[in-house]
C-alpha cells in the first residue's frame, strides 16, 4: 500500500477548473470553464482576473465576481489573432479582500503556417536498414500531430503504414521484408488544418538470409526432448540434428518475463549442456549482448529438465517489434563445454522457434476513466491524479517526452477504488510531456506541462 504524508488545509474558496489545457486555432477564442466553490461559511465577494496572459490576448470573465458556492464561471480569451504561435501558461486569480487564490492554465495557439518538415532517420537512400526501424523526423513547432505514410512504391499507391501520431518518432509494429526498398513521408497537422508532406525518403532493408546454420549429428540420441516458453510447449524426438519448429510461435510483450524450461535426453550416463539464444534486435545474429541464455546441464536422463530450468527471461525494453528466432541447442560434453549458436556437426541437437514481440500497449484499450482529474496542469512539478480504477491491483503512471521516450514511471499497488495520489516525477525538467495512465487492460494519455 502506498502512503504519502499530507496536510489538509482548509480554504475559504477554491477555483476548480474543468478544462485547464486548451489548444486553439488562431484567431478563434479560447473558452475555459471553472466552478467557484466556497467553504467555512465564506460569503465574501471574489473578483476574477488573469495574470501573465500571452501578449495580445484579452481575458473576459462571466460573471466577473462571485460570492455563492457552486457558481459556474466562463473565462474567454480573445485577441488570439494577435498572439504568436506557441504554448503559454497563465493564471486565473481570485481576490477577496486580503485573500488571493489562483489556478494554472495552459494555452497552445496554432495557425495554418507550417514550416517544411525534415526527415532524419533512416537517412534517404539508407541500405542494410533493420527490418523494424525507428522512423524519426524534426519537430514542427506549429504541429499538434503528424500523419505518417509508408509504402512499397514512391507514388504511395501501396501504403503499408498510415498513422497519425503526436510524437516525432515511430517504432514500426511490424517486421518489413528483407532486401526491400520502402518509401516514407510525414505531414504536420493541427486543429487549424494540415501542412504538406515532407520530401519522400527511401531505405532498403538488410538481407541476412536468416540466422546461421547449426545442427548436430544423428549418430547418437543426444537431444532436446521438451521446450516450454510462454505458450510454447513442444515435446520432440530427434528425427535429425536440426529441428525446424519455427511454425511454433508465442507472443510476448516488451518488459514481460517468462520461464524457459528445456528437457534433454543424455543418451546414457553422460552430461549434456544447454544454451538458448533469442535474436531480440532481429539482425540475424545471436552474438549481441543479452541474447544468450545458460540453461545449465543434465546428467544420465532420457527426459528431464536441466539444472537451471526453468530460467526466467525478460523481454528487453529495446527489443524490436515483430517476429524473431529463439534457438535451443543441447550438446554432449565430458566436462563443461557448451554449444555455440552456429556450431555444426556435433553430438547433440539444435531447435529453432519463433518469438513474436509486441509493444506493451498492443492489446490495451485507450479510454477515459471515470472521475479522471489531473491538476494543477501546468504544474511546477507535483500534481494530483484522481480516477476510478477498474482493477485495484495496480495503477501505472508513465511520463514520456514528445519524442516518445520514457522519462519516468510510478507504480501503485493495492489501491483504493477511488484512486488519488500526489505525484512528482523527479527525472523530469520543464517542458511538455505525455502522461500515460494504465489500469488493468485500460489506458489513457494526457498532455502534462511542467514549468
Reported residue count of the chain is 451
280 DSSP 8-state letter: T
**Grid-cell match 504519502, residue found:** 4
| Domain match, 275 and 321 both | yes
Is residue 365's pLDDT more than 60? no
The enclosing domain of 90 has a CATH number of: 2.60.40.2310
Q: Categorize the per-residue pLDDT at 359 as very low, low, confident or very high, splitting at 50, 70 and 90.
A: low
| Domain match, 127 and 89 both | no
- Residue 2 lies inside a defined structural domain of this protein: no
| Domain match, 38 and 101 both | yes
Q: What is the mean pLDDT of residues 430-441?
A: 83
CB–CB of 52/90 below 8 Å?
A: yes
Is residue 314's pLDDT more than 90? yes
| Domain match, 416 and 435 both | yes
| Domain match, 184 and 59 both | no
Instruction: State pLDDT tens for residues 80-113.
Output: 999 988 889 999 999 999 999 999 999 999 998 8
Cα(365)–Cα(89) distance, integer angstroms: 31
Q: What is the mean pLDDT of residues 167-185?
A: 84
Task: Tell me the percentage of the chain whose pLDDT exceeds 90.
Answer: 55
Q: Across 70-79, 328-337, 400-409, which has the greatest mean pLDDT? A: 70-79
Q: Final residue of a domain: which of 302, 332, 358? A: 358
Q: What is the mean pLDDT of residues 367-383?
A: 80
Domain extent at residue 262: 215-358
- Residue 174 lies inside a defined structural domain of this protein: yes
- Residue 302 lies inside a defined structural domain of this protein: yes
- Residue 352's SS3 state is strand
- DSSP for 35-67 reads EEEE-TT----EEEEEESPPTT-EEEEESSEE-
State the Cα torsion 330-335-336-342 to the nearest 10°. Answer: -50
- DSSP for 141-188 reads TT-SEEEEEEESSTT-SSEEEEEEESSSEEE-SSPPPTT-EEEEEEEE
Residue 8 pLDDT: 42
Instruction: State pLDDT tens for residues 210-248.
Output: 678 999 999 999 999 999 999 999 999 898 999 999 889
- Residue 162's SS3 state is strand
| Domain match, 263 and 199 both | no
| Domain match, 40 and 155 both | no
- Residue 5 lies inside a defined structural domain of this protein: no
Cell of 326: 529463439
Number of domains in the chain: 4
Residue 92 pLDDT: 94
| Domain match, 254 and 309 both | yes
- Residue 1 lies inside a defined structural domain of this protein: no
The enclosing domain of 246 has a CATH number of: 2.70.50.30
Task: Count the neighbouring beta carbons within 10 Å of the beta carbon of residue 237.
Answer: 12
CB–CB of 61/94 below 8 Å?
A: no
Q: What's the mean per-residue pLDDT of the chain?
A: 88
**Among 279, 217, 207, which residue's Cα sits nearest to residue 246?**
279
The enclosing domain of 379 has a CATH number of: 2.60.40.3080
Residue 6 pLDDT: 41
- Residue 287 lies inside a defined structural domain of this protein: yes
| Domain match, 219 and 352 both | yes
| Domain match, 264 and 340 both | yes
- Residue 292 lies inside a defined structural domain of this protein: yes
The enclosing domain of 193 has a CATH number of: 2.60.40.10
Residue 323 pLDDT: 82
Residue 361 pLDDT: 52
Instruction: State pLDDT tens for residues 56-68.
Output: 999 999 999 999 9
Cα(351)–Cα(346) distance, integer angstroms: 14
Q: What is the mean pLDDT of residues 48-55?
A: 94
Q: Final residue of a domain: which of 110, 129, 153? A: 110
CB–CB of 379/451 below 8 Å?
A: yes
What's the distance, CA 331 to chain centroid?
A: 40
- Residue 156 lies inside a defined structural domain of this protein: yes
82 DSSP 8-state letter: G
Residue 176 pLDDT: 79
| Domain match, 284 and 408 both | no
Q: Final residue of a domain: which of 72, 91, 110? A: 110
Q: What is the mean pLDDT of residues 27-54?
A: 93
| Domain match, 332 and 297 both | yes
Residue 402 pLDDT: 59
Note the pTM of the prediction, 2 decimals.
0.48
Residue 4 pLDDT: 44
Residue 376 pLDDT: 82
Q: Categorize the per-residue pLDDT at 366 as very low, low, confident or very high, splitting at 50, 70 and 90.
A: low
CB–CB of 278/326 below 8 Å?
A: yes
Cell of 112: 495554418
Q: Categorize the per-residue pLDDT at 209 as very low, low, confident or very high, splitting at 50, 70 and 90.
A: low
Amino acid at each position: 500500500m502506498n502512503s504519502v504524508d499530507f496536510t489538509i488545509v482548509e480554504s475559504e474558496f477554491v477555483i476548480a477548473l474543468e478544462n485547464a489545457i486548451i489548444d486553439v486555432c488562431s484567431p478563434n477564442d479560447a473558452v475555459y470553464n471553472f466552478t467557484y466553490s466556497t467553504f467555512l461559511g465564506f460569503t465574501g465577494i471574489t473578483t476574477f482576473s488573469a495574470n501573465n496572459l500571452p501578449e495580445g490576448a484579452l481575458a473576459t470573465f462571466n460573471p466577473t465576481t462571485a460570492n455563492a458556492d457552486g457558481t459556474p464561471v466562463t473565462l474567454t480569451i480573445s485577441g488570439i489573432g494577435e498572439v504568436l504561435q506557441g504554448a503559454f501558461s497563465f493564471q486565473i486569480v481570485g481576490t477577496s479582500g486580503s485573500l488571493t487564490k489562483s489556478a494554472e492554465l495552459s494555452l497552445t495557439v496554432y495557425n495554418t503556417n507550417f514550416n517544411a518538415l525534415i526527415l532524419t532517420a533512416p537517412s534517404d537512400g539508407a541500405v542494410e536498414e533493420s527490418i523494424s526501424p525507428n522512423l524519426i523526423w524534426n519537430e514542427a513547432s506549429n504541429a499538434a500531430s503528424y500523419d505518417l505514410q509508408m509504402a512499397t512504391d514512391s507514388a504511395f499507391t501501396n501504403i503499408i503504414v498510415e498513422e497519425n501520431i503526436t510524437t516525432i518518432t515511430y517504432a514500426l509494429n511490424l517486421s518489413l521484408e528483407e532486401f526491400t526498398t520502402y518509401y516514407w513521408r510525414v505531414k504536420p497537422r493541427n486543429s487549424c488544418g494540415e501542412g504538406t508532406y515532407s520530401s519522400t525518403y527511401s531505405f532498403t532493408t538488410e538481407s541476412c538470409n536468416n540466422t546461421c546454420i547449426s545442427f548436430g549429428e544423428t549418430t547418437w540420441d543426444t537431444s532436446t526432448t521438451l521446450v516450454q516458453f510462454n505458450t510454447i510447449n513442444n515435446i520432440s524426438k530427434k528425427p535429425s540434428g536440426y529441428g525446424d519448429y519455427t511454425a511454433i510461435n508465442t507472443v510476448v510483450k516488451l518488459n514481460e518475463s517468462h520461464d524457459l524450461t528445456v528437457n534433454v535426453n543424455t543418451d546414457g550416463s553422460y552430461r549434456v549442456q544447454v544454451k538458448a539464444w533469442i535474436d531480440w534486435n532481429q539482425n540475424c545474429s545471436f552474438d549481441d549482448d543479452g541474447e544468450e541464455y545458460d540453461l545449465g546441464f543434465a546428467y544420465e536422463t532420457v527426459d528431464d529438465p536441466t539444472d537451471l530450468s526453468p530460467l526466467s527471461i525478460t523481454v528487453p525494453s529495446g527489443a524490436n517489434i515483430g517476429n524473431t528466432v529463439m534457438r535451443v541447442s543441447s550438446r554432449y560434453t565430458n566436462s563443461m563445454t557448451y554449444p555455440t549458436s552456429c556450431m555444426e556437426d556435433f553430438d547433440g541437437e539444435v531447435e529453432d522457434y519463433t518469438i513474436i514481440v509486441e509493444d506493451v500497449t498492443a492489446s490495451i484499450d485507450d479510454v477515459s476513466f471515470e472521475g479522471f482529474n489531473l491538476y494543477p496542469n501546468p504544474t511546477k512539478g507535483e500534481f494530483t491524479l484522481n480516477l476510478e480504477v477498474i482493477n485495484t491491483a495496480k495503477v501505472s503512471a508513465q511520463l514520456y517526452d514528445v519524442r516518445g521516450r520514457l522519462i519516468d514511471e510510478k507504480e501503485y499497488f493495492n489501491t483504493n477504488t477511488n484512486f488519488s495520489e500526489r505525484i512528482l516525477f523527479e527525472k523530469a525538467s520543464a517542458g511538455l510531456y505525455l502522461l500515460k495512465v494504465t489500469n488493468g487492460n485500460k489506458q489513457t494519455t494526457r498532455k502534462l506541462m511542467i514549468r
